[in-house]
Amino acid sequence: MESLHGIPGGKKEVWNTVSRIYLDGTLTTRTDPQVLEEMLPYFTEKYAVPSSQFSHSHGKAIEEEIEKRREFIKGYIDGKEGKLIFTSGGTEANNLAIKGFARENWDKGMHIISSSIEHQSVRHTLYTLEKEGFEVTYLPVSPEGYVDPDDVKKNIREDTILVTLQHSNPEVGVIQPIEEIGKIVKEKGIAFHVDAAYSTGWIPFSVENWKADMVTLTAHKVHGPKGTGALWIRDGIKIKPLIDGTFHEYGLRGGIPNIPGIIGFAKALELMDDEERERVKYLRDYLWKRLKEEIEDIKLNGPEERHPANLNVTIRYVEGEAVVIQLDLLGVSVTTGSACFSRKLEASYVLRAMGVPYEDAHGSLRFGISRFTTEKEIDEAVSRLKEVVERLRKISPLGRKE
């Protein structure tokens, strides 16, 4: 396991083997080849499972390897005082945290506080709980996307049992004042869940400083494999499992865990360091600078201080959908609004909650920079985008004043 500390060379290599430019790193990222390499033996050579540790040494060896990763990830988030339950990703971890806690603790109260810009996996989990009789308060956000800690305080009631908020938002990059909110929630003795799926690896944090009781993580947004995540739970917090089965993952998640995925998850975190985050942030800032230089009537959505890999802009007098489709024809992958909403041609609920006017929300573009993005790709993408915007504005029915 020394390799968790020393990174073998080559991580700065550019792995782009395709000419298309992928700028949708907010939705998912490419699994780093070094991550894949680490995972491969766990398919074909080390294929035993931890639960067979009591029967034979194949199982014991895997159990030790998985526990090392579990401890490493717990250390990474400063979560020694809790359990890490591996899941199939952020979505399952959010479901497990929120449903698991609510269904175990409903006798203490049935009120939950959240926000109006949560990820769909939190929103829909809360909708399900509402059908089961729980009451949810969805806090509003400021024009930049911030939840006001005072609002959290004001909305806490006698029967509030849980506050669930995301750390960073994948659409507009806003980072919530979780530490301040955590203090308030803790003072009231209420459980605090933080969805840190998008922050995993990108923004270092401490679950202790947050005073969090449950924290959601995922691997695939930070060059880890898809289908692997985790829920961290503070010792003493009780939840009901969602998936019943054999006594895996402390009895809180039945089914044999994704062993290669867990190995890859730890490796992906190991590959992240400040240098890497700075480099991606530099590229993101470079993209924003180039966009402002080349395209008129463009504005930033969300705050300046944001997730290092995220950019969200509104280009006025064009339709985001039209831009995305035309850019795709020119070999550039980006998205407009939120991925799930764009399919329905509705304005993004996140931007709407921030008070972004309907037309501006429709003209929004979301970029996700990754480890594999290059400056050259950004230059190329901006020049293709400029071409598309100019073409669309010529025929735009959206009333641009000349």
Ligand X SMILES: *Cc1c(COP(=O)(O)O)cnc(C)c1O
State how far the Cα of 281 lies from the Cα of 290, in Å rounded to an integer: 14
Q: Does 89 bind ligand X (CB under 6 A)?
A: yes
Q: Does 218 bind ligand X (CB under 6 A)?
A: yes
Q: Which stretch binds ligand X (CB under 6 A): 201-209, 215-223, 268-276, 314-322?
A: 215-223
Smallest gap from Cβ 12 to ligand X, in A, equals 26
80: Cβ–Cβ under 8 A, 6 or more apart, which residues?
Answer: 74
Q: Does 170 bind ligand X (CB under 6 A)?
A: yes
Distances (CA, A) of 48 to 56, 119, 254, 257, 267: 10, 35, 17, 11, 20
Q: Does 261 bind ligand X (CB under 6 A)?
A: no
Alpha helices in 111-173 (DSSP H): 120-131, 149-155
Nearer to ligand X, 62 or 222 (CB): 222
How is residue 314 written in tokens?
């509104």
Sign of CA dihedral 117, 119, 123, 129: negative
Task: Give 373's strand partners.
Answer: none
Smallest gap from Cβ 50 to ligand X, in A, equals 22
Q: Does 119 bind ligand X (CB under 6 A)?
A: yes
Instruction: Clarify whether 340 is annotated catalytic.
Output: yes
**DSSP tag of 344:** T
Q: Does 314 bind ligand X (CB under 6 A)?
A: no
Place of tokens 């024809």: 329
Note whether 32 and 371 are within 8 A (CB): yes
Active-site residue, selected from the candidate residues 40, 325, 340, 345:
340
Question: Count residues contacting ligand X (CB under 6 A)?
Answer: 15
Question: Strand 229-234's sheet: what is its strand order?
Answer: 82-87, 229-234, 214-218, 191-195, 160-166, 111-115, 135-139
Q: Does 90 bind ligand X (CB under 6 A)?
A: yes
Note whether 166 and 194 are within 8 A (CB): yes
Q: Does 166 bind ligand X (CB under 6 A)?
A: yes
Q: Which stretch binds ligand X (CB under 6 A): 39-47, 191-199, 256-264, 300-308?
A: 191-199
Question: Pick from 182, 229, 302, 320: which binds ligand X (CB under 6 A)?
Answer: 229
Nearer to ligand X, 281 or 384 (CB): 281
State how far the Cα of 301 lies from the Cα of 367, in Å rounded to an integer: 11
Smallest gap from Cβ 166 to ligand X, in A, equals 5
Q: Does 337 bind ligand X (CB under 6 A)?
A: no
Q: Which stretch binds ligand X (CB under 6 A): 95-103, 108-116, 192-200, 294-302?
A: 192-200
Smallest gap from Cβ 170 to ligand X, in A, equals 4
Nearer to ligand X, 252 or 295 (CB): 252
Tally of residues, the chain: 402
Helix axis angle, 375-394 relative to 320-329, nearest 10°? 120
Question: Pick from 139, 197, 361, 389: which binds ligand X (CB under 6 A)?
Answer: 197
Quickly count: other Cβ atoms within 10 Å of residue 185's Cβ. 27
Smallest gap from Cβ 61 to ligand X, in A, equals 28
Place of tokens 């280009």: 315
Question: Pick from 31, 95, 121, 160: which binds ligand X (CB under 6 A)?
Answer: 121
Q: Does 164 bind ligand X (CB under 6 A)?
A: no
Q: Tell me phi and psi for residue 73, to 5 degrees.
A: -70, -40
Nearer to ligand X, 223 or 290 (CB): 223
Q: Which stretch binds ligand X (CB under 6 A): 194-202, 240-248, 311-319, 329-337?
A: 194-202
- 3-state SS assignment for residue 165: strand
Q: Does 366 bind ligand X (CB under 6 A)?
A: no
Q: Does 258 bind ligand X (CB under 6 A)?
A: no
Backbone angle region of 332, left / alpha / beta, with phi > 0 → left and psi within -120 to 50 → alpha = beta
Contact string (CB under 6 A) for ligand X, positions 38-77, x = contact: ----------------------------------------
Q: Which stretch binds ligand X (CB under 6 A): 85-93, 237-245, 317-325, 363-371?
A: 85-93
How is residue 357 written in tokens?
């006017």
Q: Tell me phi and psi for residue 173, to 5 degrees.
A: 75, 0
Contact set with ligand X (CB under 6 A): 89-91, 94, 119, 121, 166, 170, 195, 197-198, 218, 220-221, 229
Catalytic residue positions? Answer: 340
